[in-house]
Amino acid sequence: MTDTYSHLVDQYHTDGFVILRNVIDARLIEECRQHIEFLQSKFPSIPGEHLHHPIMRNDPFWVRLVSDPRLLNLAVLFGSSFIEPDGGIALFSSHYFCKPAKTGMSVLWHQDGSYWPLKPMNVLTMWLAIDESNTENGCLRVVRGSHQEELAKLTDDVSVQNVLGSYTHRDEDIDQEKIVDIVLKPGDISIHHPNIIHGSNANTSDRRRCGLTIRYIAPTTKCVDEKQPVMMMMGSPIESINHYRSWPKYRIGYDFPFDGCEQWNDRRRIEPDDELYFERTDYTQMDQEIENEVIGFIAQLGGKTVQQQ
């Protein structure tokens, strides 16, 4: 599959983004939709725009998805400047952005790297379309070539309802002729540089807009926030760089059932000092802790983004 997309690597380095079609099959995308319904039923107080990696840390289907070989192979291809073919890939974070119909919030212009505790800022973001994403329901918008700019400082802004409660660039800073709407069908992905300026409009349509962001790093990149659930996806870690987490265990009757879940526990990656977490059976308390962590994170973004969606 990587040969199919290899001619787009130069485009990625020139423009700071690239669109790849039909990467993930319809069957897995349908599982994703069912998974999102499962999560929103499990965590009804968490807005659809904020299904974050604290949930992923305890969710085997989520990690099954982000460890899919099709995605990892593309991470090696497009992240070749810092990911070696045999050098390993880690996951820094992942996040479902589900903008509900009519009320889905905007995302102000920003550069992802301005938010992230990574040194060096070697990270590749994939955006996997679960729903059709277009201008009507608030698709991602990028500023072509803006990845060549340095990372800008964050400015808090909750004067308008928005997902992040901040921005790095204002509308008047943007060359309107360089804005590209990232229009995707389910199963398509776009790949982005951490410095590229991007955002999205509110979803005022009658259709939900949901996508999954996946952020891959090399084991040589350090996440300075030790609370972040960094996981090795393939290859071996480099000692003392990061604290890695186990892939979550599948627990019948608690976790989302998925194709292959019966064999999942035989193939999950295990970090011995992290396994106590998966011996817990107080599932209600675990879910409450996860919910509290996500809601607390949202509150730090400005508070006004927290509402029932």
Mean pLDDT confidence for 73-78: 96
Does residue 240 have a pLDDT over 90? Answer: no
Does residue 2 have a pLDDT over 80? Answer: no
The pLDDT assigned to 302 comes to 58
pLDDT confidence bin for 301, thresholds 50/70/90: confident
Mean pLDDT confidence for 91-110: 95
The pLDDT assigned to 307 comes to 32
- Strand bridging mode 140-143 / 179-181: antiparallel
C-alpha dist (Å) from residue 179 to 14, 150, 157, 161 = 15, 18, 22, 22
For residues 254 and 236, the answer to whether their CB atoms sit within 8 Å is no
Structure tokens that stand for 235 in this block = 């290859």
The pLDDT assigned to 297 comes to 86
Alpha helices in the chain (DSSP H): 2-5, 9-15, 26-42, 53-56, 60-66, 69-78, 261-267, 283-300
DSSP state letter for 277: G
* Segment 8-25, tens digit of pLDDT: 999 999 999 999 999 999
The pLDDT assigned to 309 comes to 26
* Segment 150-209, tens digit of pLDDT: 999 999 998 888 899 899 999 999 999 999 999 999 999 999 999 999 999 999 999 999
Structure tokens that stand for 96 in this block = 């479902």
For residues 209 and 309, the answer to whether their CB atoms sit within 8 Å is no
Does residue 308 have a pLDDT over 80? Answer: no
Tell me if the pTM is above 0.85.
yes
Please state the length of the chain.
Answer: 309
The pLDDT assigned to 166 comes to 93
CATH code of the region 1-301: 2.60.120.620
For residues 184 and 162, give the distance between their C-alpha atoms in angstroms, rounded to a whole number.
22
Looking at per-residue pLDDT, the higher value among 304 and 194 belongs to 194
For residues 128 and 68, the answer to whether their CB atoms sit within 8 Å is no
* Segment 247-281, tens digit of pLDDT: 999 999 999 999 999 999 999 999 999 999 999 99
DSSP state letter for 133: B
C-alpha dist (Å) from residue 233 to 106, 125, 196 = 31, 15, 25
CA dihedral sign, ordered 30, 69, 112, 240: positive
Domain ranges within the chain, ordered by starting residue: 1-301
For residues 51 and 94, give the distance between their C-alpha atoms in angstroms, rounded to a whole number.
9
Q: Write down the mean pLDDT value for the chain.
A: 93
* Segment 192-215, tens digit of pLDDT: 999 999 999 999 999 999 999 999
